[in-house]
Amino acid sequence: MMKIMDYIGYPEMILAVVCFIYLHHMNSKSILTNWPFIGMLPSLLLNHHRLHDFATDILSRSACTFVFKGPWFTNMTNIVVTTDPANMRHIFNTNFSNYPKGAEFNEFFDILGDGIFNADLDSWKTQRKMAHQFIIHKKFQSFLEQTSVDKVKNGLIPVLEHVLEHNLAVDLQDLFKRFTFDTTLILLSGIDPCSLGIELQKFPFVDALDDAEEAIFYRHIIPVNLWKLQRFLGIGKEKKLIKAREHIDQFIVQCISKKRELQHEKMNKEQEENGVDLLTSYMEQDDGSNSVTFYRDTVLNLMVAGRSTLSSALAWFFWLVSNNPIVEAKIVEELKSKANLPKNVYTKVRMFGMEDLKGLVYLHGAFCETLRLFPSVPFEHKRPMNPEMLPSGHKVDTKTKIIPHLYSMGRMEMIWGKDCLEFKPERWITEEGGIKYVPSYKFMAFNAGPRTCLGKEIAFTQMRMVAATILYNYKVKVVEGHRISPKNSIILYMNHGMKVKIGRRV
């Protein structure tokens, strides 16, 4: 028996040593080796903890485009990863019709249902038109201002004052998630979940969204059959996704039911005078054809767009500013140029109105620079309907998956220059002191072409409100030793949050 065990053990030991040496070599070189049968998957898995930076390393050495070869007989056999602006313009604008979302995208993002992110053709056009008409309405603009100001005044400031008074450390990313969750749900349904409070109570829906976004990310880096097997067995990330969907569906259906009750009882008169939320607007126009599923998909898609992307952008903005005191000083100086700021109920805290926030060019540049380096959606997912040649010279067909890597795009020297890794708001300001135009296919934080984000101005409005209030009144310092790194998710969150201490700005 011992001889048999020894016989079996030696090859295994040799294989283990070889694997260790190989993996160590790959880790130090960040190379991509195309192995028989398994392709480049080992490199991907080895670097799963730093996938965005790993992709950036490869792209920077590959003229902005490389072809990833996955395991044979999987959906990963031919993946084109690109940051080339010419490819971006071609895919998202010039030849937009050849790159619909398609069945595979819908399968990866099945939790979003038939909402605007998954929709194609007439369904997408109809949903986009409805959302656009809602967003540009004067009542909504008024409602947006009222909601943003109220949540900063009665939600964010009390929490920050409590943290400051008791000398506590707080996860700023978590605060921003709560702020954007509350404001987005109010704008969508008129319902305030009040997740942003001094108690910072757990809220299952917020955690469920995070779990779902993380699980969808992992669907992109493992073979389809593997994550489908996990889903069937109810294990791994797919188990978390199943539970997350249950929480999400339950919460949104409750909101829809409550809104319908309010509509039926005519209890939204006050809301109609001050503004209008999306569900109220849609239900008033409903001829009976809109199902609960339609409202569920609409709310969830716009919740991800409003809550998730905005909170991510705010967290990275404050991290970058806190690490660049010269930039911080310039922003504060620009804010001080605004006179007659009204005092809040807290005598030492001053608020900014919408008019005060106009013309803040340097602050706007800082936001754009943040989104260049840390786009809230770090990558996209495309597949051509018909074969063609990309401007970069890469042939693609219906079996080719294309990953436009937006995170890496902001780090390409050939696109942004030798200082591409520096945080420079001046990059976005003209010699005359205005905001510099940069084409969307080069700066894709808000997508490009026909699917350009409808909520771009909403995002800037809320970011200006939050950033101006915090930076004018407080100093934010990351807790010493707290590690900041991107999380593996379809939304570019910080992996361990952003623990900070708050001080009073004199």
CA dist., res. 259 & res. 271, Å (int): 12
The terminus-to-terminus CA distance of the chain in angstroms comes to: 78
HSE (side-chain half, CA atoms, 13 Å) at 329: 3
Q: Which amino acid is at 491?
A: I
E strand spans, 301-429:
388-389, 395-396, 401-404
Q: Could you tell me whether strands 388-389 and 499-504 are parallel, antiparallel, or unpaired per DSSP bridges?
A: unpaired
User: Is 453 annotated for ligand binding?
Assistant: yes
HSE (side-chain half, CA atoms, 13 Å) at 275: 19
Phi, psi at residue 474, to the nearest 5°? -135, 160
Buried b (16+ CB within 10 A) or exposed e, 414-427: ebbeeebeebbbeb
CA dist., res. 267 & res. 239, Å (int): 40
Q: DSSP secondary structure string, 54-110?
A: HHHHHHHTTTTEEEE---TTSTTSSEEEE--HHHHHIIIIITGGG---HHHHHHHTG
CA dist., res. 366 & res. 179, Å (int): 21
The CA-based angle 129-448-219, given to 5 degrees, is: 95
CA dist., res. 4 & res. 138, Å (int): 81
CB 143 within 8 A of CB 187: yes
Q: What's 384's DSSP letter?
A: -
Give the 3-state secondary structure of residue 367: helix
CA dist., res. 120 & res. 102, Å (int): 7
Which parts of 152-171 fold into alpha helices (H)? 157-165
Q: What is the CA radius of gyration of the chain?
A: 24
Phi, psi at residue 109, to the nearest 5°? -110, 40
Q: Which two tokens stand for residue 111?
A: 């939790």
Q: What's 111's DSSP letter?
A: G
Annotated binding site: 453
Annotated binding site for heme: 453
